[in-house]
């Protein structure tokens, strides 16, 4: 889904560049501004999503460490990272089978290891996307800054709303908090993808 959004943004950028060579109009400036804002928001949402993934990775690693400590097998952070980077759960767990660990604990460690391996791949993919889209956003800095000035009042209201939301979230447990954050991020991504597709369709009609 994120890849689709990135590709749509790049397609829109090419279409806008092509049309800009032919004419300069108010409509063109509006569409360029919309594209700049969408690109910026895409990077912001993906950054939050990446932060959530990194946080989940650290918590999963912590659970593995605690399981190992229960069995009497203490590991340093460097040793644990070295085992995790192997990418093979069988190889990963073979090194701790002689510690007398229970089957349930072993299954828990294997599950957490697989989660971390999947996250590593996803984080790398997101990094590649950041590099790609960040270059686009940087080239549109003036447009984005202009938009931010125009919507400053709206941002003030959003900040107030976010402050109230944070107060409410403080009364929720950590697990529920993470689920809400991840769900919100996914909803925002879907909304951005829908806006990008709509803008793309609008460009095609203009052509």
Report d(CA 187, CA 195) in Å as an integer: 12
Give the pLDDT of residue 140. 55
Q: Which of 8-12, 36-40, 124-128 has the highest average model confidence (pLDDT)? A: 36-40
* H or E element at residue 158: helix 152-169
Q: Would you tell me how many other CB atoms lie within 10 Å of the CB of residue 156?
A: 10
Residue 153 confidence (pLDDT) above 50: no
Arithmetic mean of pLDDT over the chain: 65
State how far the Cα of 61 lies from the Cα of 115, in Å rounded to an integer: 10
User: In the chain, how long is the greatest CA-to-CA distance?
Assistant: 74
Q: Tell me what pLDDT residue 61 has.
A: 77
Q: What is the domain count for the chain?
A: 1
Mean pLDDT to the nearest integer, 138-148: 50
DSSP-assigned letter for residue 10: H
Query: What tens digit of pLDDT does each residue of 10-29 get?
Result: 676 667 666 655 555 666 66
Question: CA-to-CA distance for 80 and 15, rounded, in angstroms?
Answer: 48
pLDDT for 154 equals 41
Cα gap 41→44, rounded to integer Å: 5
Of 38, 43, 44, which is closest to residue 147 (Cα–Cα)? 38
Task: Report the pLDDT value the prediction gives residue 80, as an integer from 0 to 100.
Answer: 72
Tokens of 111: 């599950």
pLDDT value at residue 158: 41
> What element of type H or E holds 181?
helix 174-206
pLDDT at residue 135, as a whole number: 62
pLDDT at 91: 46
Residue 33 is part of a domain; what is its CATH number? 1.20.58
What average pLDDT does this structure show over 41-46?
76
What's the CA dihedral at 118, 119, 125, 128 to 10 degrees?
A: -150
Question: Sorting pLDDT into bands at 50, 70 and 90, what band is 141?
Answer: low
Domain containing 160 equals 2-206
């Amino acid at each position: 889904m994120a890849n689709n959004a990135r590709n749509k943004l790049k397609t829109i950028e090419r279409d806008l560049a092509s049309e800009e060579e032919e004419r300069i109009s108010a409509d063109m400036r509006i569409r360029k501004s919309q594209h700049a804002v969408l690109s910026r928001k895409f990077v912001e949402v993906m950054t939050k999503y990446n932060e959530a993934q990194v946080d989940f990775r650290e918590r999963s690693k912590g659970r593995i460490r605690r399981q190992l400590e229960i069995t009497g097998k203490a590991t340093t952070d460097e040793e644990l990272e070295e085992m995790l980077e192997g990418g093979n759960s069988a190889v990963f767990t073979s090194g701790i089978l002689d510690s007398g660990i229970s089957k349930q604990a072993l299954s828990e460690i294997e599950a957490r290891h697989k989660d971390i391996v999947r996250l590593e791949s996803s984080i790398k993919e997101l990094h590649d996307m950041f590099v790609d889209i960040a270059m686009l956003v940087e080239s549109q800095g003036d447009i984005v800054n202009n938009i931010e000035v125009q919507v400053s009042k709206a941002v003030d209201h959003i900040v107030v709303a976010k402050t109230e939301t944070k107060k409410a979230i403080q009364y929720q447990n950590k697990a529920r908090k993470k689920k809400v954050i991840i769900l919100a991020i996914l909803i925002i991504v879907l909304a951005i993808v829908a806006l990008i597709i709509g803008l793309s369709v609008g460009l095609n009609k203009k052509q």
